[in-house]
Amino acid sequence: MKISGSQVVIECLIEQGVDTVFGYPGGNILNIYDALYKNSDRIRHILTAHEQAAAHAADGYARSTGKVGVCMATSGPGATNLVTGIATAYMDSSPIVAITCNVATPLLGKDTFQEIDITGVTLPITKHNFMVKNVNELASTIREAFAIASSGRPGPVLIDIPKEITAAEVEFEPVSKSEGMEKALTASHANLKRVFSVSVPTDEEIKAAAELINASQRPVIYAGGGVVISGAEKELLAFAEKAEIPVSESLMARAAFPSDHPLCTWMVGMHGTKASNMAITESDLIIALGSRFSDRVIGDPSKFGLNAKVFHIDIDPAEINKNIPTDGSLVGDIKEILNRLIPLIKETKRPDWMERIQTWKSEVPSTYNRQPENSVNPKFICECINKVAGDDTFITTEVGQHQMWTAQFYPFKKPRTFVTSGGLGTMGFGTGAAMGIQIGNPKARVVHIAGDGSFRMNCNELATIQHYNLPVVIVVVNNGALGNVRMWQRLFYGKRFSQTTLDFGPDWCKLAEAYGIKGYKASNAAEFEKVFTQAFKSEEPAVIDVTVDIDEMVLPMVPGGKPIYDMIMSLSKDVMS
C-alpha cells in the first residue's frame, strides 16, 4: 500500500509495540502530528510542557517497563531541548528513540529558520543516529533504530527526518516486530553489526570464573545498573545466597537486591555505607556485575580494592579494564552468565566474613537518627514514604542531597522501583521520569522525591501532571538551598556560600494550586506523616513542601579523589557552626 512518510512513522511505531509517545509539536514536524491526530485511537501522545521533559518521560517509561521509550520534537530549539534528556539516557544505558523533523533537504546547510544539525549535535550522546533523506529508507531506518536501542547495552537512538520526507508517498509493507528486527539485522551496515552482537562466554571461561569465586575467602559483589537492565535480580539473589557473598550496590542498582536482606550492604562509593566501602576495601575478590567503576564509586583508583582481585562481568566489552584493571572478565548478558555460573558455585558459609560485615553495618553517622526542631530528618521522610506507599511504589528523584538520602535510606525491595539520573546527574530529570513511569504503569503509584533546587527546573510539568490527572505525589525536600553544592562549600570552600542559598520563592503550595493541584506543607515529622498519608491515599496529584534543615549533611562522605575507606562519618562543631 502507498502511504505518506508521516504515516510510515506511525505504522512502524505501532509495529514496534509503541503505545505512547511524548513530545511537543512545531512547524517541521506538523505532518507527523497530523498523522498522530488521525491515529489517536491507535497510539497515545502525551504533550509535555517542555521537550526536555518529553525525553525524560520516555526515559522513565523505558526504565520502568523495559520497553523502548519514544519522544518527538520539531527542528532547531525543539530538537536541542531534547539533548539533555538524550544524554541522560545515554549515560544510564536507557533505550529511547527520539524522532525529530528538520527543515526540507534543499534548505539544509543554509542557516534556515529553525535549522540545526541535530545528528551532529547528538553524535557523542547516542548509540547511533540517522538522518533519513530518502523516503524509501524510512521504514527500515525506524526498525533499525529500535533494534539498536534495545539490543546489547541499551541506549538512545535519534532519527532526524527532513520535512518533505514526511509528506512524500511510498510503498509500505507491514511486518511483525520480530520480522522488523530480522530485517534490521540483515540490512544493517557492517559498521553497525557490533551494536547488535552479544558475546557468549565459553564453558571453559564460565568454569574458570567459578573456580576463582569458589577459591575466594572474602568475596563481595559490586552490583551495577546492568543487573537491572538484564533483569537478573533473581539470579543475583540466588548467586549471593548460595555462596554467602555480601552485595554492595551502585546508585543505579539500589533496587536490584532486597534492602532488608542480611547480605545487602546498600550503596557503595562517595556516599556509600561503611559496610559497602569497607567490604570492597577488605575483600579478596570483587565481583563486578554490570557496573562501570564510576569515579563516584571507586574514589582514588590507585587505592580501590587493594587487597582484592577484580572479576568483571558486563555486556559491553568497552567497560572491561576501562577504569579499573581486572584479573578476569566475562563479556555477555548478566542474567544468562549467572544462570550458567550458579550450578558451578559451591554452597558456602563465611561466618567470620559476615561477622565483620555486620559490625560495619552497625556503624552509621549520628545524623541518621537526629530529629531537629521545625524540620524533618531525611531518613524519616524516606522511611515514612515506604511505610505508607509500600514496596511496589515507584520512587523517582531529581539530583542532589535528596537523591543521596533516598539512595541511603529508602528500603527498596522490588526491581525497577528506583529511577534516578546516575551518570549525568541531571537536575530536572525526575519529574518527567515520574510522568513517564506513571503512564507506562497506570495501575502502579509513583512518588517523586525532589529537591527545591531541582524542582525549580521542571515545575512547569505540573501542567502536564494535572492535565492527564497523573496521581504522582511530589515531595519537595525543601532546605532553601542547593544543598549538595552548599555542603561542598561548607567543607572545602571556607563556608563561602556563593549562589547556593534559595531564600526567594516560590511558595510551592500556591504554585501547585495555581496548576490545579493540591499543595501541603510539613515542618515536623508528625505533620509530614499526616499530610503524606492524606496525599497518597487521595490517589490524585499532590505537592508536599517538607522543611529540611539547610545544613543537614549527607554522611558518610568520601571527599573527591580520596580512597573510599577514607570516610567522613561525623563533623566537628566548628565545621557546622
Contact 229, 419 (CB under 8 A): no
Query: What is the model's pLDDT at position 188?
Result: 61
Confidence grade of residue 131 (pLDDT, cut at 50, 70, 90) = very high
Query: What is the model's pLDDT at position 45?
Result: 98
Cβ neighbours of residue 371 closer than 8 Å, sequence gap 6 or more: 377, 380, 525
Query: What is the model's pLDDT at position 575?
Result: 72
Query: What is the model's pLDDT at position 576?
Result: 72
Write out pLDDT tens, residues 4-21. 999 999 999 999 999 999
CA distance 22 to 268: 34
Above 60 in pLDDT, residue 191?
no
Write out pLDDT tens, residues 319-340. 999 999 999 999 999 999 999 9
CA distance 529 to 479: 18
Overall residue count recorded for the chain in this entry: 577
Query: What is the model's pLDDT at position 194?
Result: 58
**Domains along the chain with CATH numbers:** 2-196 (3.40.50.970), 203-361 (3.40.50.1220), 366-554 (3.40.50.970)
Write out pLDDT tens, residues 464-520. 999 999 999 999 999 999 999 999 999 999 999 999 999 998 999 999 999 999 999
Above 80 in pLDDT, residue 181?
no
Above 90 in pLDDT, residue 195?
no
Q: Is 273 exposed, middle or buried (0-12, 13-18, 19+ CB in 10 A)?
A: buried
Query: What is the model's pLDDT at position 369?
Result: 84
Above 90 in pLDDT, residue 198?
no
Above 90 in pLDDT, residue 186?
no
CA distance 284 to 220: 8
Q: State mean pLDDT over 267-283.
A: 98
Write out pLDDT tens, residues 231-262. 999 999 999 999 999 999 999 999 999 999 99
Beta strands 2-4 and 169-171, pairing class = antiparallel
Write out pLDDT tens, residues 38-80. 999 999 999 999 999 999 999 999 999 999 999 999 999 999 9
Q: State mean pLDDT over 413-428.
A: 97
Query: What is the model's pLDDT at position 177?
Result: 74
The helices-and-strands tally (H runs, E runs) of the chain is: 26, 20
Amino acid type, 298: I
Q: State mean pLDDT over 166-178.
A: 91
Residue 161: beta bridge partners?
101
Cα 559 vs. chain centroid, distance in angstroms? 24
CA distance 54 to 83: 11
Mean pLDDT for the chain overall: 95
Query: What is the model's pLDDT at position 187?
Result: 63
Query: What is the model's pLDDT at position 178?
Result: 76
Percentage of the chain lying above the pLDDT 90 cut: 92
* Other beta carbons less than 10 A from residue 239's beta carbon: 22
CA distance 487 to 407: 17
User: Measuring CA to CA, which residue among 105, 87, 115, 185 is closest to residue 145?
Assistant: 185
Above 60 in pLDDT, residue 190?
no
| Of 82-86, 351-355, 426-430, 572-576, minimum mean pLDDT range | 572-576
DSSP characters for 375-434?
A: S--HHHHHHHHHHHH-TTSEEEE-SSHHHHHHHHH----STT-EE---SS--TTHHHHHH
Confidence grade of residue 291 (pLDDT, cut at 50, 70, 90) = very high
Query: What is the model's pLDDT at position 196?
Result: 63
Contact 409, 383 (CB under 8 A): yes
